[in-house]
Amino acid sequence: MLKRFLTAVTLVLLTASPVAAEPRAAWVGSWATSPTTVPASDTTTFEDQTLRQVVHLSAGGSTVRVRLSNEFGAQPLVIGEARVARRAGAASAIDPRTDRRLTFGGRASATVPPGAPLLSDPVALPVAADSDLVVSVHLPRRTPATTVHAFPYQDGYLAAGNVAGRVDITPTAVLGKWHFLTGVSVTGGRDATVVAFGDSITDGAETTRGANRRWPDVLARRLRAEPGPRHLGVVNAGISGNRLLHDPNPPAGHPAEAYANYFGQAALRRFDRDVLSQPGAAHVVVLLGVNDLGHPGTSAPESERVTAQDIIAAHRQLIARAHAAGLRIHGGTITPFKDDTFGFYSPENEAARQTVNHWIRTSGEHDSVIDFDRALRDPTDPTRLRPAYDSGDHLHPNDAGMAAMAAAVPLRVFR
């Protein structure tokens, strides 16, 4: 009897159809921004209003997921409704055929605790690379705007009431910041993410507003045109004013108290959130250090002055942490800033810049070197920006300079 029973069980196990585990979706970053807190002077508050925010996708896919954030909030963030759609035209209108409600654990609304991010459920929505996506969020309760990205170089829109599902809205204001929105990822057709990790030059300062001419945008277009099987998303983790080694710390009574909090946490502090946690992250391009040299004595106390060796030590930490997580890390040389309008330049700061750049070029500690300095410097005076690439403040590149930076990235480093 026992023998017949065991034989029957064996036959069932051998003949039963196996239940295949459903493969986990491979998410890739298509757009991102890095959040900061706000200065005390920024008292922006929303209540029973809809934020309609526009983002530009670096990678297309068949499924979309949105990341919201209450990471600098002191109270719960209540999401009444959130929707996503492809943009129609150049203003606030959406393509109604593509309008999708976002859910969170199957629910149409959500409450985000202070300090936490929030991922939406996946939503089926085919989107194309190099296209605009619109994310509309209704905030029903009084909500201080404490989690922001201050310098998006892209207009968003604010409207009264819950109009998240409207094809077009009547804006009551144009938004000059991204609020509570930090990421869009996609599945289908892309297999890895490049994270551009930097300061205002990566963030896109002084580029044409709404034109998506930051160097990471241009790099994404170059990568799409590259033949071969490798497909990459590019996300921008730049924050204007960001430093490697210090959080914002304006001297008491200094005008920077009105804006320094927008500079974000030190790169060493935010690296895990803004780089390692990006969906599909495989590469990081680091362009940081100019604010570490320029802020002390301008918008930060002299006591925070750093040496070239301090900056190099910070880069070594980023290298170690990237490699520990399995990412390749590419070192960008610090670009010229002689005669800048912010007071950053001095012979001592220039000497430190040259020392850091020499180490980046020759140490072999990064997986590759991207020589942004060489791409932008004036051949007649290598300590300053080439005039054709100068936005006018002698620190930030213009649109042509951003294109030159993207062209300086050897695409082979991502293969």
Average pLDDT over residues 16-28: 56
Q: Are residues 119 and 239 in the same domain?
A: no
Predicted pLDDT at 315: 98
Total domains in the fold of the chain: 2
Average pLDDT over residues 331-359: 98
Q: Is the pLDDT of residue 390 over 70?
A: yes
Tell me the pLDDT tens digit for each residue of 296-308: 999 999 999 999 9
Q: Are residues 125 and 210 in the same domain?
A: no
Whether residue 362 is contained in a domain is answered as yes
Whether residue 29 is contained in a domain is answered as no
Tell me the pLDDT tens digit for each residue of 68-122: 999 999 999 999 999 999 999 878 999 999 999 999 999 999 999 999 999 999 9
Q: Are residues 176 and 298 in the same domain?
A: no
Q: Are residues 338 and 271 in the same domain?
A: yes
Q: Are residues 221 and 369 in the same domain?
A: yes
Q: Is the pLDDT of residue 130 over 90?
A: yes
Q: How confident is the model at residue 25 (pLDDT cuts 50, 70, 90)?
A: low
Predicted pLDDT at 24: 61
Whether residue 7 is contained in a domain is answered as no
> What is the average pLDDT value for the chain, to the nearest integer?
93
Whether residue 5 is contained in a domain is answered as no
Predicted pLDDT at 367: 98
CATH number of the domain bearing residue 287: 3.40.50.1110
Whether residue 30 is contained in a domain is answered as no
Q: Are residues 212 and 158 in the same domain?
A: no
- Boundaries of domain holding 401: 191-414
Q: Are residues 342 and 264 in the same domain?
A: yes
Predicted pLDDT at 12: 35
3-state secondary structure the chain: CHHHHHHHHHHHHHHCCCCCCCCCCCCEEEEECCCECCCCCCCCEECCEEEEEEEECCCCEEEEEEEEECCCCCCCEEECEEEEEEECCCCCCECHHHCEECCECCECCEEECCCCEEECCCEEEEECCCCEEEEEEEECCCEECCCEECCCCCCEEEEECCCCCCCCCCCCEEECCEECEEEEEEECCCCEEEEEEECHHHHCCCCCCCCCCCHHHHHHHHHHHCCCCCCEEEEEEECCCCCCCCCCCCCCCCHHHHCHHHHCCCHHHHHHHHHHCCCCEEEEEEECCHHHHHCECCCECHHHCCCHHHHHHHHHHHHHHHHHCCCEEEEECCCCCCCCCCCCCCHHHHHHHHHHHHHHHHCCCCCEEECHHHHHEECCEEEEECHHHECCCCCCECHHHHHHHHHCCCHHHHC
Q: Are residues 197 and 135 in the same domain?
A: no
Which pTM was predicted? 0.93
Q: How confident is the model at residue 191 (pLDDT cuts 50, 70, 90)?
A: confident
Average pLDDT over residues 213-218: 98
- The region of weakest confidence among 34-48, 175-189, 358-372 is 175-189
More confidently predicted of 351 and 3: 351
More confidently predicted of 3 and 206: 206
Q: Which residues are CB-contacts of 40 (< 8 A; sequence separation ≥ 6)?
A: 257
Q: Are residues 231 and 333 in the same domain?
A: yes
Boundary (domain end) residue, out of 117, 148, 183 = 183
Q: Is the pLDDT of residue 208 over 70?
A: yes
Whether residue 314 is contained in a domain is answered as yes
Whether residue 11 is contained in a domain is answered as no
Predicted pLDDT at 16: 36
Q: Are residues 64 and 120 in the same domain?
A: yes
Q: Are residues 253 and 401 in the same domain?
A: yes
Q: Is the pLDDT of residue 10 over 50?
A: no
Boundary (domain end) residue, out of 132, 163, 183 = 183
Of all residues in the chain, what percent carry a pLDDT higher than 90? 90
Boundary (domain end) residue, out of 129, 156, 183 = 183
Predicted pLDDT at 8: 41
Q: Are residues 352 and 392 in the same domain?
A: yes
Q: Is the pLDDT of residue 379 over 90?
A: yes
Whether residue 299 is contained in a domain is answered as yes
